[in-house]
Amino acid sequence: MFRLKLKLSGFFKHLAIFFAILGPGIITGSVDNDAGGITTYSVAGAMYGYGLIWTLIPSFVVLLVIQEMNARMGIVTGKGLSDLIRENAGLKITFFIFIGLLLSNIGNTTTEFAGVAGSMEIFGVSKYISVPVVAVMVWFLVVKGTYKIAERIFLIFSVSLLTYVVSALMAKPDWTDIGTSLIHPQFEVNTQSIAMIIALVGTTIAPWMQFYMQSSVIEKGLKMKNYKYTIIDIAVGCVVTVVVAFFIMVACGSTLHPNGIQINEAKDAALALKPLAGRLASQVFAFGLFVASVFSATILPLATAFYVSEAFGFEAGIDKKWDEAKEFYTLYTGILIISAIIILVPNAPLIKISIWSQVLNGILLPVVLVCMILLINNKKIMGNYVNKPHQNIIGWGAVIVLTALSVLLLFMPLINK
């Protein structure tokens, strides 16, 4: 190995380093396109056609800036975001953030199981079979310690997210129309469309991802020396997120929207694509939804249990025995069971649960972001790697816009009535 390394040079050396570092950004980017995301993008496409595609551009910029900050904090401190928040923001804020995170992620996991149920129904499998099977499978996968392998398999599978590109192309979109709507977005400004924008931004930049990103960076043992490759990794991850989102919106925007078909779930989108873009497009869409849902259903409960434990000082980690890390395993199992059961209850208010977890996300996000920006500007923690002015401008800008959006979202129902 030693001799081999000496021989590597130039382009291939760069490539080798990149592949060694590759991961945190791309995995986070893929997990980002979970069932909740796919649903939101589908609904937005069906409802507004290409009208809201432009939101992906600011989302991309903010996502990039935020994830870069997470990576930098992880590399410099070697500490998880929940550790840093607990140590510097005090217990009350920590408590608020993590109880919120716990609740919203139970909601999010429920949405993932809804994705599992919906996509398998397209293939004719009842949710009373698919959901328990997936839940048990996910639980064993993680508790039996093969999680790392699973993560890699999922990463390969997440290529199937690109099936949305296929679905979109099969739908024969009008590219000039898409181009025009990107440059001159046209949509009616009303409470409904603003709510949709909030949902789009909220699903693209979910609070728990910040914690996930930072701990993956630490786990990878990344270094400041190879920082440019980390940036590339993050950028690729963000591009994946946005590209997939773009094609989902295009697919639904070019088929469902012109025909005036309104949908509530991602499953509806898959079903509705069938007569318009063909059976294959519909199944391809459903397969992508299934993989994305299982992937996120694996990562979300685990990550949530981990960060909550970390913040409150419980032993955590899948390498620990049940007795050593009782709170951690209880949390993990609890989130899985509760989410799976909600799906199986007949007539469960799924859409309400999904909306409420997004509202919670919306409230949490600015709080987490403020904590992050304060932490990353703290010289005692970050040394010479504190934020540059332009990073702070984008960071605070995002906080202000997101807070404004969240406040709007909270008060919207009052204005409506």
Partner 1 sequence: MTSLTTFYLSGIIGKEAFGADGDAIGIVKDLLVNAAPTGINDPNQQLVIGVKLKIKKESKFYSFKSFIVTKAREVLNVTCTELAEVSPDEINNGLLLVENILDKQIVDMNGRKLVRVNDVRLVTLPTGTFAIAVDIGIEGLLRRIGISIPIKKVLSLFKVNMPSKYILWDDVQAIDHSSLNIRLSKSYAKLHTLHPSDLADILEDLGKKSSMSVFSSLDEEKAADVLEELETRAQIHILENLPVNKAADVLEKMPADEVADILDELEDERAEMLLKEMDTESSQEVRELLEYDDDLVGSIMTTDYLSFSATSTVAEVLVELRSKKPESVELYNMFVIESNDELIGSFNLRDLVVAEPNTSVSQIMRSEPFFLYDDQKTGEIAELVSKYNLLAVPVVDQNHLLQGMVVVDDVVEDLIHERRTKKR
Q: How far is the CB of 380 from partner 1 (least distance, A)?
A: 7
Q: How far is the CB of 105 from partner 1 (least distance, A)?
A: 20
Note whether 415 binds partner 1 by CB under 8 A: no
Contacts of 102 (CB under 8 A, 6+ apart): 304, 308, 331, 335
Contacts of 394 (CB under 8 A, 6+ apart): 61, 62, 65
CA gap 251, 292 in Å, rounded:
17
Note whether 15 binds partner 1 by CB under 8 A: no
Closest CA to 183 of 50, 47, 49: 50
Note whether 79 binds partner 1 by CB under 8 A: yes
∠ Cα 109 368 243 (to 5°): 60
Q: How far is the CB of 155 from partner 1 (least distance, A)?
A: 16
Instruction: Report the residue number, 78 or 258, with the smaller CB distance to partner 1.
Output: 78
Q: State which of residues 221, 260, 346, 389 lies at the interface with partner 1 (CB under 8 A).
A: 221
Note whether 72 binds partner 1 by CB under 8 A: no
Instruction: Report the residue number, 303 or 342, with the smaller CB distance to partner 1.
Output: 303
Residue 332 and residue 379 in contact, taking contact as beta carbons nearer than 8 Å: no
Closest CA to 406 of 220, 253, 197, 252: 197
Closest CA to 403 of 349, 371, 367: 367
Q: How far is the CB of 138 from partner 1 (least distance, A)?
A: 17
Phi and psi of 416, rounded to 5°? -60, -40
Note whether 2 binds partner 1 by CB under 8 A: yes
Within 10 Å of residue 136's Cβ, how many Cβ atoms? 12
Note whether 16 binds partner 1 by CB under 8 A: no
Q: How far is the CB of 157 from partner 1 (least distance, A)?
A: 17
Residue 268 and residue 56 in contact, taking contact as beta carbons nearer than 8 Å: no
CA gap 359, 356 in Å, rounded:
5
Site for partner 1 in 146-175 (CB under 8 A): 146, 149
In this structure, what DSSP letter does residue 320 have? Answer: S
Q: State which of residues 30, 70, 77, 293 lies at the interface with partner 1 (CB under 8 A).
A: 77
Residue 163 and residue 288 in contact, taking contact as beta carbons nearer than 8 Å: yes
Note whether 91 binds partner 1 by CB under 8 A: yes
Residue 47 and residue 172 in contact, taking contact as beta carbons nearer than 8 Å: no
Note whether 30 binds partner 1 by CB under 8 A: no
Q: How far is the CB of 90 from partner 1 (least distance, A)?
A: 7
Q: State which of residues 6, 156, 183, 414 lies at the interface with partner 1 (CB under 8 A).
A: 6
Q: State which of residues 14, 54, 76, 374 lies at the interface with partner 1 (CB under 8 A).
A: 76
Q: State which of residues 16, 19, 57, 87 lies at the interface with partner 1 (CB under 8 A).
A: 87
Note whether 140 binds partner 1 by CB under 8 A: no
Site for partner 1 in 364-403 (CB under 8 A): 380
Q: State which of residues 9, 92, 124, 156 lies at the interface with partner 1 (CB under 8 A).
A: 92
Within 10 Å of residue 179's Cβ, how many Cβ atoms? 11
Site for partner 1 in 291-320 (CB under 8 A): 312-313, 315
Closest CA to 157 of 39, 341, 30: 30
Q: How far is the CB of 298 from partner 1 (least distance, A)?
A: 16
Instruction: Report the residue number, 187 or 312, with the smaller CB distance to partner 1.
Output: 312
Note whether 86 binds partner 1 by CB under 8 A: yes
Q: State which of residues 16, 19, 57, 95 lies at the interface with partner 1 (CB under 8 A).
A: 95
Longest dimension (CA), the chain: 72
CA contacts within 13 A on the Cβ side of 175: 1
The window from 89-97, 105-113, 228-236, 394-402 that contacts partner 1 (CB under 8 A) reads: 89-97
Going 369 to 372 to 374 to 377, the CA torsion angle's sign is negative
Instruction: Report the residue number, 4 or 415, with the smaller CB distance to partner 1.
Output: 4
Closest CA to 319 of 150, 152, 145: 145
- Residues found near partner 1 in the complex (CB under 8 A): 1-3, 5-6, 76-79, 83, 86-87, 90-92, 95, 146, 149, 221, 223, 312-313, 315, 380
